[in-house]
Structure 1
Amino acid sequence: MKNENWDDLKLFLHVAREGGLTGASEKTGASPATIGRRLLALERQMGRNFFIRRQTGYSLTKDGQALLTHVLAMNEAARSIGAWNEGVNELPTVRISAGSWMSHFMAVNLAQLWTPDDPFRLCFKTAEIRLDLAHREAEIGIRNSFPESSNLAARPIGDVAYAPYCASHFNMVRDCNWVGIGADDAVAPSARWLLAQTDLWVTIWANNPRMLHDLLRSGAGRGVLPCFVGDTDPSLVRAGEEIKPLYHRQWLVMHDDDRRRPEIRTLVERLAQLIEKQQPLFRGQRPRG
C-alpha cells in the first residue's frame, strides 16, 4: 500500500470497534455513507477485504483482524506522541534577556547550558535595550551594572574588556576610518564611547551589533568589540590597546521571588560556571596573535 491515510485507518478502527457504520458515525461525526465510501476506497487501495458486511453489522475478515492489530499499535503510538507533546508544552520556560554579544556567546555554548533532557525550555530575548525583570518580562538578565530595583537579585559573573578590532586584511597604516553604531541606536556603552571620540573618523554606521561585526569582518574599518567576541574571530585582529573606560563587571539578574525556582537556579548556576570558566577571554587576556 502506498501513502497510507491515517484518517481512513482511524475510520476503519471505529467501524471495527463499533461493529458498523452507524456506531462509527456517532463517534466520528462523519456520515455513514462517507465512512462506507472511504472504507471501500481503503480496501481497493490495499487490495484486501476487511469486513463481512451484513444488515446486522460489520464483522472482520482474517485480513481485517490482521490490519486491526497494526492499527491498534499505530493508535497507541499516536496517543503516546500526543501525551509526550502535551508534556513538552507543560514544561516551564526560562526567558533570558541579553544583548547581541552575550546571546551569541550563549548560542555557541548552548550544550553547556541546556539539553533536551532538561525539565525546562529556553527562550532567548535578544535586545540591546533592557527588558523589565522587575515586571517579569524575562526570568534572567545578563547586565553590565548592578540592578537598582529592590526586588531583583544579582550575582556577579566576572568582568568584560573591550578593544578596537579590524579585519586581518585591513590596512591599518594607510586607512584610519572607523565603523560604529549610529546615534539613534547607540544603547551600549561601547557604542556611545565611539560617538564621544570626536577625533576619530567614522565613515560607516550600523544600527545593530551584528551588522557592525559583519562590516568589520568585511574590512570596512576599525570598530569596538568585546574582547570575548573579537578575540575568538579568526578573521579579526586587534587594532589598538584595550579601552579601559569600557571595562566593566557583569551580572546575572533575576526577580528575587523567582531565583529559587529549580529551573532558574539550575540555569543561573550553569551560566555562572560557563562565564567564570571563560574569564581570561572576557577580560581580554587571550588576544589573537
Structure 2
Amino acid sequence: MSMLLIKGTFRVPPRSKPDGDTIPFIPDNLADWKLVPGREPIAPAPDGRVSVRLEAVDALETHYEGAYGPEQHQPLDFAHRAANELLAWVGFASVDRHEDETVATIPESVPGFILTRGSDIYGRCVALVGRGAPPACSGYEVRVDEALLRKTANFHLISLGLAYPTFYAGFPRELREELTTASRAARAAKKGLWADEVDVTMKGAKITGMSSITAANGAVILPKLFRRLKEYLDLKPSEPLLNCFPTYLAGAGDEFRIVSERDGLVGLHRVVEVINGHTLRMTRQIEEIVFDEK
C-alpha cells in the first residue's frame, strides 16, 4: 500500500501529556498537512504541530474523558511504559514525567517522519511513525511493505507487548498480518501486557465500580473496551451489576468483522460476555477483529 510520507520533527511541548499511541509532530514544510487525505482536514496548532495517532495501535489510556463523566485513566504502570517507550524509541534521550502527568524531554525535539493514509473522522492524522532520516522525499507517496512496517514505532510497541493491535478496514491485510504475528509472539513470550496476571481481557475482569478499571491494582483490559465500560459506568454509577452492559454495547453500534468470517457485525456485545453480573470478558482476541471506518 502507498502512504504519504511527511518529514519533520517530534516535539513534546511544555505541559503536554503524551500517551502510548499519540505523538506530537511538526512537518518541515507545514504545507504538507494539506496533502493528508480524509473527510476531515488536519487542523495544526499555531506552530504547525499535530498529535499524530499511531495506526493500528491502542495503548492503555492515560487520560480519557468520554461523553459523560470526568476524565479517567487505566492502571498507569503499563500506560506510562508505553508512552515512555514511544518517546525513547523516536530518539528522546530523557523523559521526565511529573506528578501531574506532564512530560519534559531532552532534547526538545528529534527528527523523524510519518507515513499516513489519511485523517480519521475526528480530523486526527493517523500514521506509522518512523525515526531519523526518511526512506524517500517528503510530500510523496511511498509503498509501505512488511519490511518498512517493522522499522516503525507501531511495530516496536506491539512487538514488546506494550500496546494492543487494533485494526481498521483501510489498513492493508498484509500489514495487519505482520502486526498480528508480532503481537502473538509477544503474547507467547509473555512480554509486557501479556505477562502473567496483567491483561485480563480474555480471562475476565471482575467489575464492581470505576475503581475496578482505574486503580493502580485495577483490571487491565483492552482500551476500546475500557472506553465503552467507562462511559457505561458514568451513566450508571450506582448500578452494581453489568447486566445491561451488553445492551449498551449494542446501542453504541461499533461495526466490525471477524477476519475468519465473511459477514459484518454491529455491536461489541457480539464479542463480549458478562458472567454472573460482575465478570466481563471478550470472547475474541483483538487481532481477530477489523473495525469499519465510519
Compute the TM-score of the two structures, normalised by the length of structure 2.
0.21
**Normalising by structure 1, what TM-score?**
0.21
